[in-house]
Chains A and B, each alone.
Chain A
């Protein structure tokens, strides 16, 4: 994570690619894109997506952080935090 709390372009690009096939509403994917409101993710799609993110980054995303993740940017920051903690 960079000092100003912005996710890196690489993380966002990776999430962008994973989101592609799940983007049924066809919105432009931006850091502020919201999972519920803009992408219409229901809880089953959320879990499928979480699994692909975990596989891609080789991490485990704890369930208790989900309620605080509203946008792609929130997820990118959370992923970077977990990656950093895992890799020391």
Chain B
């Protein structure tokens, strides 16, 4: 079990970076359990820190394996059979990790569940959990005592055999039964980080796909013997779960954790950990870098005492990369030894386990300035970077990981495109998911002849992949996936609204910020009523979805429909941008 800091013991020490006597293997294992068996032979492991960067738990991989095996036997003895699912509340705690790996040794399929993150919104959170439970049909749910009342409400009537706390499992009977021998083609876990919250789709990841992706990613970021990772990313997202729990373990890399909520409250603790532990690799969506840079601006200059010179892979992923934000971070932290060359643009998605492409380490960001009309003309035409509103800057996402392929295909006739031609991004190779759990329709729409339709739009510049937007409708707001259907459903269930009255789209403002926007067909002619309607819609969407949207009222019957009568969302966006749909006076 994890060791806990108390005054009776000498001060805790984090697991070392170096692993003398155990050659580094970069994920070349058949199964996740095999990778933990190997890592457990060394001295590296996971370390958990408090919001004030005090070490609270140390869990060498050796101890993690021992606890996981022990709890695997308890889970098996409780009657759960291999192949059954267990929902795990994915807190940044040692308990979550122990039980995730216990499932692996028992042949049980863990399903990480999200934590709540905002004021109010209890109903929305409970609904999200319930929808995931309906999709994954787990036999058991394990969580933290503080959250169990809310979770129990969410899973009521779903036929779970047992709902329990992590701590409770330690008291269950342990049998001397056999551990499950995982096979490469069995599922290792199911991840719900894509899909709408109303109709979630669980990505099925096999041991083989996981190991292939972990291995390819570790090679891409040149995970040598001096690598040490720091992460505050949540474990219910692919970047946190795979990038900073599974891939680091599969490469025997010591990793220091800060809980996501502690990062959000005190973002500079992230940088303090990197500095103090001489970490080399850490990732964040753009907004994490932005939070840090903003926080420092309110502090006296030079007061931080940070040394960020060890940071070799400052990874950026999870949403469209904002170059100005990254440059602001680079300049702010240059006096603290931060190297802008460490910025590493990358691209990935849970359907490919995690990583698709990475920049070469220590080459910095590749910026490309292209004409803004590229999305319409399907050509990424270079323009001078003179701040003209006709241009937009994109950040390169690096080169495709080894043993995998990317094709960019024409949006209309699917022929394979060449340099600077914008099209849909397709991915193939051993780390593509086997499908969405229990959802053959969604699977068939996404996996075609061994190629995964990522739903993203991009182009090639040399061997580097640039992502410019999404062909599918998903929006990404502060690293979170938001589906326009969920927003529209919310609006259209308000009083006086009808189905088809709204279109949720993303508009890009003059500062290159992506702004989620709802076009709403409006009947009231009175300007005051319109103002109240806008406020109501904003508030309702904020409460139900948790994001702040711009609301634009448009005339009745102005939103375009497809031939089958569904909203033509993409067309609505193009028409609005072209001025063919005009906003009503408000």
A binds B: yes
Partner among B121, B287, B548 whose Cβ is within 8 Å of the Cβ of A67: B121
Contacts of B546 in A (CB 8 A): 36, 42-43
Decide: A35 near B266, CB < 8 A? Known: A42-B546, A43-B478: no
Q: Whose C-beta in chain A lies nearest to the C-beta of B261?
A: A63
Is A69's CB under 8 angstroms from B120's CB?
yes
Contacts of A68 in B (CB 8 A): 120, 122
Is B542's CB under 8 angstroms from A36's CB?
yes
Which stretch in B6-14, B110-118, B435-443 binds the other chain?
A: B110-118
Contacts of B287 in A (CB 8 A): 44
Is B150's CB under 8 angstroms from A40's CB?
no
The answer to whether A48 has its CB under 8 Å from any CB of chain B is yes
Partner among A34, A47, A67, A70 whose Cβ is within 8 Å of the Cβ of B265: A47
Contacts of A50 in B (CB 8 A): 265
The answer to whether A59 has its CB under 8 Å from any CB of chain B is no
Is B146's CB under 8 angstroms from A41's CB?
no
The answer to whether A66 has its CB under 8 Å from any CB of chain B is yes
In the docked arrangement, what's the CA distance between A51 and B51, Å?
10
Q: Whose C-beta in chain B lies nearest to the C-beta of A64?
A: B146
* Number of residue pairs spanning A and B whose beta carbons lie under 8 angstroms apart: 80
Partner among A34, A42, A66 whose Cβ is within 8 Å of the Cβ of B548: A42
Is A40's CB under 8 angstroms from B548's CB?
yes
Number of interface residues of B (CB under 8 A): 28
Is A36's CB under 8 angstroms from B543's CB?
yes
Q: Which of A24-49 contact B (CB under 8 A)?
A: 34-38, 40-44, 46-48
Partner among B120, B291, B540, B547 whose Cβ is within 8 Å of the Cβ of A42: B547
The answer to whether A6 has its CB under 8 Å from any CB of chain B is no
Contacts of B547 in A (CB 8 A): 42
Interface 1/0 per residue, B266-301 and A, CB below 8 Å? 100000000000000000000100010000000000
In the docked arrangement, what's the CA distance between A44 and B265, Å?
9
Q: Which of B120, B122, B291, B478 counts the most A-chain CB atoms under 10 A from its CB?
A: B120
In the docked arrangement, what's the CA distance between A80 and B539, Å?
28
In the docked arrangement, what's the CA distance between A44 and B538, Å?
17
Decide: A64 near B147, CB < 8 A? Known: A42-B478, A42-B546, A44-B264: yes
Contacts of B265 in A (CB 8 A): 47-48, 50-51, 54
The answer to whether A62 has its CB under 8 Å from any CB of chain B is yes
Is B261's CB under 8 angstroms from A36's CB?
no
Q: Which of A56-88 contact B (CB under 8 A)?
A: 62-64, 66-70, 75
Decide: A43 near B147, CB < 8 A? Known: A37-B543, A68-B122: no
Decide: A63 near B478, CB < 8 A? Known: A36-B121, A37-B539, A40-B538: no
Q: List 16 contacting pairs A-B, 8 Å CB cutoff, sorted by A.
A: A35-B120, A36-B119, A36-B539, A42-B118, A42-B547, A42-B548, A43-B546, A47-B265, A51-B266, A63-B261, A66-B117, A66-B119, A66-B120, A67-B119, A67-B121, A68-B122
Q: Which residues of A line the B interface, CB within 8 A?
A: 34-38, 40-44, 46-48, 50-51, 54, 62-64, 66-70, 75
Q: Which residues of B line the A interface, CB within 8 A?
A: 115-122, 125, 144, 146-147, 150, 261, 264-266, 287, 291, 478, 538-540, 542-543, 546-548
- Counting from the closest, the 8 A-B pairs by CB-CB distance are A47-B264, A67-B122, A37-B539, A51-B265, A64-B146, A70-B120, A35-B119, A43-B118
13 other contacts beyond A36-B118, A44-B478, A66-B116, with CB at 8 A cut-off?
A: A36-B539, A38-B539, A42-B547, A43-B264, A44-B264, A47-B117, A47-B261, A48-B264, A63-B261, A66-B120, A70-B119, A70-B120, A75-B119
